[in-house]
Structure 1
């Protein structure tokens, strides 16, 4: 269960039951308001401030039916970062307002406040500057398009430029923003969307925020017993040489015969991505598209490993780096087909 609803008055409990009925969630209140005839209500154990330590860990959305002052004092010790804190919405127990208090964007409190306002027939209070100007902030853009932000401080600065009426340029290598690739990049702030480790523009005196989608599949092959460190170093070298960001790595792909090779398993663990095993039968269907080795074909039944594995695993996507050979290791990189529809 991702939502907790907390009330500390009888009117608040009635409002909490209304919210729970309409949206689900675990409802907590003071023990004195709980009786055997009211199921699915849990007690707030101990004082509220201490209890919130548990709630902050267990729930992604928190609706607090109480005064803003009580809510702020009870959650203050547990606040950590806008990147990790749960969404917190505060309602008065008469149901007039639903206030987005913490994590309005990344945590989703602004949307939760709007939802709760609808349920209770009250007004959602949103105080973030970009929302109140109908401007999509950088973090909300990234959230909507499943993009990873490289620098949250720069994201804030670029959003501030938009809020203050300054023009912001963009480079979109995926073609998912306004159906375009590039805007005026002479502006002082730039949004870069793509796979590059370093955007290929002059960034002097510009604030630039990089947004990256996990859309690259690394196809690999290696000799039995290859040292994991050697394989990782080969991949890192190829990414550096091609100015590719490791943040964009979505998965590792290899042939079924290499599915249990320790170096390849370690590579997927190193990047914390899935290892996709491609059967020889599937590779045979596409291997004529790629450079083949007679020796490899006589040995394992197919003439190529890394490229067809990456090609298939990327949903027959676009080749970014052709096969690279390095001391018993082969590596290629493909971009997943239809990057714009990837939803992590």
Structure 2
């Protein structure tokens, strides 16, 4: 995360230095008016232009990571807003409200904004409390300065789950995100909220406080109509029923599934992607819960497989043949595969070994030049292999 600290006074600059020095590895930068951080009207040292851009409205000072500006803050604030993920402003709250208000367009993209008073007594989460991480930032700032964190988001002050944060620390993704605001409103109004869960950690609610009395766990989908719930949280790696409330449902996808993949030489990205999606859909499983792809090291130079992993932003984990040869749980061994590469299968043992599962969720499914098997990770386990590839790969790696 790129964090900028804005100051207007020398007392504010002292607070900014304490914050920066407490987290030296985060690349925090400090900005202030020229008369506070350097000489009034200070020139731009040419040696530092590369750090801030030759056309930047800021100038570098003699202190590394500290930059000044000339003129009013309102002229340079939009540049800081665009360049940084989070902003800590050591100044009056009203100044920040006037500056940030016209720039705040989308809470999913706007930076986190925290305001600290010049005496360092309060750290106020102003914008992006949940989505951008301003609440967490306010707590961190307060801890360093010995200040009082001020967080006003309704779910936090009432000890209720923040629906845009559920499972976030465990890598869960959210589908039907357009419903976040409506569902959050139901939560804080303490309307009835139904919860269906069959995957992921069942302790997801604990960081928020006790289990809310207006949350009702479903044991069967048949219970939902009679509950007359105002909102529905679905936590699953399976495809949800089609008749769920259109505008009151949030779907969370825990990363629980591992797809073991074998393929012929030259099989395309499109073929691998289409067949993997087909296998998931046919077995009622959600593509959003894929945690990793797995294969044998002999296949890690396959352009189609690498492209599929990159397109889905999934790690590709791979194992040498000798680690897959005697993997327990293989259900459909192939003599044809054994004769070619010396092991009885690729998709099934890869899925099992990468997931840590003792049995397959879906046995090998044969497609056009590609085979796919699926396994579910035991709770709390990350997909892992002898080799992990998350970006461009050396075709000789792991061979």
Please say whether Structure 1 and Structure 2 have the same fold, judged by a TM-score greater than 0.5: yes
Once residues 336 and 312 of structure 1 are traced to their aligned partners in structure 2, the CA distance between those partners, rounded to angstroms, is 10
Could you say which residue in structure 2 is the equivalent of 1:84? Answer: 109
- Give the SS at the match of 1:138: coil
Query: How many angstroms does 1:341 deviate by?
Result: 7.2
Of the three residues 132, 135, 140, the one matched with 2:157 is 132
Query: How many angstroms does 1:318 deviate by?
Result: 5.3
**Equivalent residues in 2 for 1:217-236 (5 A)?**
217-236=258-277
Could you say which residue in structure 2 is the equivalent of 1:31? Answer: 34
RMSD: 2.9
Query: How many angstroms does 1:167 deviate by?
Result: 2.1
**Equivalent residues in 2 for 1:243-254 (5 A)?**
243-254=284-295
- Give the SS at the match of 2:98: helix
Could you say which residue in structure 2 is the equivalent of 1:9? Answer: 9
Once residues 62 and 150 of structure 1 are traced to their aligned partners in structure 2, the CA distance between those partners, rounded to angstroms, is 29
What TM-score results when the alignment is normalised by the length of structure 2? 0.76
Once residues 21 and 278 of structure 1 are traced to their aligned partners in structure 2, the CA distance between those partners, rounded to angstroms, is 43
Once residues 71 and 105 of structure 1 are traced to their aligned partners in structure 2, the CA distance between those partners, rounded to angstroms, is 19
**Equivalent residues in 2 for 1:192-211 (5 A)?**
192-197=234-239, 199-200=240-241, 202-204=243-245, 207-211=248-252
Query: How many angstroms does 1:324 deviate by?
Result: 0.6
Query: How many angstroms does 1:133 deviate by?
Result: 0.9
Once residues 148 and 52 of structure 1 are traced to their aligned partners in structure 2, the CA distance between those partners, rounded to angstroms, is 32
Query: How many angstroms does 1:54 deviate by?
Result: 4.2
**Equivalent residues in 2 for 1:149-160 (5 A)?**
149-160=174-185
User: Are 1:165 and 2:190 counterparts?
Assistant: yes
Query: How many angstroms does 1:227 deviate by?
Result: 3.3
- Tell me, yes or no, if the aligned pair for 2:166 and 2:204 is still in contact at 8 Å: no
- Tell me, yes or no, if the aligned pair for 2:199 and 2:256 is still in contact at 8 Å: no
Once residues 41 and 178 of structure 1 are traced to their aligned partners in structure 2, the CA distance between those partners, rounded to angstroms, is 41
Query: How many angstroms does 1:120 deviate by?
Result: 3.5
Assess, with a 3 A threshold, how the Cα gap between structure 1 residues 52 and 308 changes in structure 2: closer, same or farther.
Answer: farther
What TM-score results when the alignment is normalised by the length of structure 1? 0.87
Choose 274-283 or 117-126, whichever is displaced more: 117-126
Query: What are structure 1's unaligned runs of at least 5 residues?
Result: none
Query: How many angstroms does 1:159 deviate by?
Result: 1.9
Once residues 318 and 159 of structure 1 are traced to their aligned partners in structure 2, the CA distance between those partners, rounded to angstroms, is 38
